[in-house]
Amino acid sequence: MTSANDPAFRAALEGLELVDHPALLRQKSRDFYWYSPILKRELDGKAAELIVVPRSVDEVVRTSASCARFGVPLVVRGGATGNYGQMVPLEGGVLLDMARLDRTLSIDAGRGRFEAGVRLGDADAQAQQHGWELRMFPSTRRQATVGGYVCGGAAGVGSIRYGQLRDSGVVSALKVVTCESEPRVVELRGPDIGKALHAYGTTGIVVEVELALAPSYPWVEMVAAFDDFATAAHFAQALGESDGIFLKLVSLMAWPLPSYFRGLDGALPEGRHVVMIMVAAANALAVRDLASERGGAITLERPYAEQAGQVPIYEYTWNHTTLQALKVDKTVTYLQTLFPLGANVEALVDSHEMFGEEVMAHAEFQRRQGRTNCSSLQVVRYRSDERLREIVRGLETLGIRLSNPHSYILEDKGARVLSADLQLAFKREADPQGLLNPGKMSRWTAA
């Protein structure tokens, strides 16, 4: 592969916005991989040689064509909130920063079309002006981009009602630029969306995303506290299964996880396990009733609003839970796991009993295959790589499967990668030299 410092390559990019200050190259080439002591060892110091900031699809095409003609690697950067070094360039080259492709193109009849660099918070706010909202967003709503979410994310706030990003109907279309000397601009729809969805930008550069939207609701944030973990877990499941209660978020955290959280004074009683909830305002009373029936106490109830000085409750959930813990204790790390459908609560309670406070239970309830299930981002008191592997083996005996957050390899995410064959075949035609995010797709590397 050719270096992005090659003078002829630089000349080919003349007129584009380029950044090559070493401090910026280092800073912009990082995501949140440092959650993992293993990835930190592997990825610290890796950086692009040049950042290109395109302002239009034509400029993306020009950059991609130049990379293909000169053989320079190209990695796309959205908001850089990935957790596994997905956007960390392993082989130098160009980092394509999508920040200026930030136009909302249309919001109409329950669909929104956005350039890939639009931040999810802006996309959501734009949709709300038309009576719609995003069906789901990651807890990084404020920083992450639409393109980064569909290329690197999986689910999030809203998944308790609308399922996973990969569920048919959630993403309606992707416009993708290939990495060839004469790049093509391809519109992917239907099953073809899988060619680029959750592919870490290894199969194409996503320049536009069309998403199905949901009707906008006024939401209420609530916290329910319980003395006993099993009772809290059964409440969370029962709430998720209550079809009449319109939910956006159901997150369960075992004590002592809440002891790491700042900014929710009074809502997190000492020693209690909590369920964090976002519910349509009209159903807040129904949540109160269910919590009281199940022995819980509501310790917080307030309208959801994005406003200065107030941390939205979702920023304690999903992978913000680990971040909140890391702010207080730099020695913790995490796991990411999937639970057996129909037996998830039992597995959750058993895992809590198996490891106690060493593996702090945290579950995100969501719809999977039409049923209420959970996945987990357990916060772990890290001792060694070997102990981490032992914990994983222990969880596996309970039917809990790892979606390995300590690897940057696409295929190590288990069930998330549904379209591996489709993606490999598409990469052969869209990126024949293997220049897009090299080293992340193990099937390609092996081939």
Ligand X SMILES: Cc1cc2nc3c(=O)[nH]c(=O)nc-3n(C[C@H](O)[C@H](O)[C@H](O)COP(=O)(O)OP(=O)(O)OC[C@H]3O[C@@H](n4cnc5c(N)ncnc54)[C@H](O)[C@@H]3O)c2cc1C
The Cα–Cα gap between 262 and 236 comes to: 23
Reading the block at residue 28, the tokens are: 């912009």
Q: In the bound complex, what is the minimum distance in angstroms from residue 204's beta carbon to ligand X? A: 7
The Cα–Cα gap between 246 and 239 comes to: 10
234 vs 406, beta carbon nearer ligand X = 406
Q: In the bound complex, what is the minimum distance in angstroms from residue 297's beta carbon to ligand X? A: 27
Q: In the bound complex, what is the minimum distance in angstroms from residue 155's beta carbon to ligand X? A: 5
Q: In the bound complex, what is the minimum distance in angstroms from residue 285's beta carbon to ligand X? A: 28
**How would you classify residue 361: left for phi > 0, otherwise alpha for psi between -120 and 50, otherwise beta?**
beta
Q: In the bound complex, what is the minimum distance in angstroms from residue 317's beta carbon to ligand X? A: 7
The number of beta carbons lying within 10 Å of the beta carbon of residue 385 is 12
The rounded Cα 41 to chain-centroid distance in angstroms is 22
Q: In the bound complex, what is the minimum distance in angstroms from residue 37's beta carbon to ligand X? A: 16
161 vs 320, beta carbon nearer ligand X = 320
DSSP structural state of residue 217: -
Reading the block at residue 382, the tokens are: 């890290």
CA 84, 88, 89, 94 torsion-angle sign: positive
Is residue 337 within 8 Å of 376, Cβ to Cβ? yes
The span from the first CA to the last CA of the chain, in angstroms, equals 17
179 vs 220, beta carbon nearer ligand X = 179
Q: In the bound complex, what is the minimum distance in angstroms from residue 108's beta carbon to ligand X? A: 22
Q: In the bound complex, what is the minimum distance in angstroms from residue 97's beta carbon to ligand X? A: 9
201 vs 296, beta carbon nearer ligand X = 201
Is residue 183 within 8 Å of 68, Cβ to Cβ? yes
76 vs 335, beta carbon nearer ligand X = 76
The Cα–Cα gap between 47 and 28 comes to: 8
R_g (Cα) of the chain, nearest Å: 22
291 vs 323, beta carbon nearer ligand X = 323
Cis peptide leading into 256, omega within 30 of 0? yes
200 vs 255, beta carbon nearer ligand X = 200
Which residue type occupies 45? G
State whether residue 399 is helix, strand or coil.
coil
Identify which of 105, 111, 159 has the alpha carbon closest to the alpha carbon of residue 132. 111
Tokens 């106490």 found at: 297
Reading the block at residue 160, the tokens are: 């308790």
Binding residues vs ligand X (CB under 6 A): 31-32, 75-83, 86-87, 98, 116, 138-140, 144-145, 147-149, 151-156, 200-201, 205-206, 318-320, 323, 437
Q: In the bound complex, what is the minimum distance in angstroms from residue 181's beta carbon to ligand X? A: 19
**How would you classify residue 306: left for phi > 0, otherwise alpha for psi between -120 and 50, otherwise beta?**
beta
Report the residue number whose CB is nearest to ligand X: 148
66 vs 324, beta carbon nearer ligand X = 324
226 vs 260, beta carbon nearer ligand X = 260
